Amino acid sequence: MYTSRGYVTWRASCKGATLHRKTRSALSNALSAEVVTGSTAWIGRGLSCVCAQRRESDARLSFDMTPSQEECLQRLQNRIDVSYDNTNKDHQDALKSLWYASFPGTELLDLISEQWKEMGWQGKDPSTDFRGGGFISLENLLFFAKNFPRSFQELLKKQNGNRALWEYPFAVAGVNITFMLIQMLDLQAAKPRTLLGAIFLKLLSENERAFDILYCIAFKLMDQQWLSMHASYMDFNTVMKATRRQLEQELLMEDVQRIEDMPSYRLLSR
């Protein structure tokens, strides 16, 4: 499980607040130079690997939210708290929608089917892989498929670059990315306790779909890291660490005032 603690001393209202150039620069340099170590946790079975990291020397952040920011964060937390329920018709319909967005024109035989392995689920029942990410991880995948279909299909079908013999399973990697982002941004806390969480709340207040868009960015960036590192199946945890570091660095950039300002946003194509 990701349990990063990236504290700094800073008190501000997030919306409209601008971090001092030196503060962001120093933190970005620290992240860049950091050697990340930690234990490994697993979601579900098999590949579902995410890495843990803790920075013992970071200072604690003090942060106050406006009422509108509280509402925005609460709505996202309400989504995070929803577990996937394979008896819930809305959840079943969302899963079917994901299939048809992924494989247009191919009939889905059943919600429990060997067909799901084509998408990179670990078995014939995708619900068993949602334990770590909850229903929001399905929502993230569906958002990606509908809003950036070209990028989604490129990743699903591994169309870019020289691929490894042992590739990461697409869908399970997606669940891990959801989980990683929740932990990285400390989104289950009552209010931001990290600088990254505070910065993200500002982005969320500007665009309520910021988490879903960040997910798409993270997925595309993860695949780019995978290719540049010539990674294979057992390197997934290392790739996730590198992806997280890159996301942290970009969020700390002074010019990132909207989620679309992140440099890696340009990797996405519709």
- Owner of token pair 């950039």: 253
User: What span, in angstroms and rounded, lies between the C-alpha atoms of 251 and 270?
Assistant: 23
| pLDDT at residue 57, as a whole number | 36
Residue given tokens 């607040």 in the structure block: 17
Count H helices and E strands in the chain, helices first. 9, 2
pTM above 0.85, yes or no: no
pLDDT along the chain (270 residues), means of 10: 26 36 49 37 41 43 83 97 96 98 96 96 93 91 98 96 90 96 95 92 96 98 96 93 98 96 96
pLDDT of residue 69: 92
Rounded-to-integer distance, Cα 89 and Cα 192, Å: 34
CA distance 88 to 14: 37
Q: CA-based angle 97:215:70, to the nearest 5?
A: 105
Determine contact, residues 96/145, Cβ cutoff 8 Å: no
Report pLDDT for 4: 33
Alpha-helical (H) ranges within 121-194 are 135-147, 149-156, 170-184
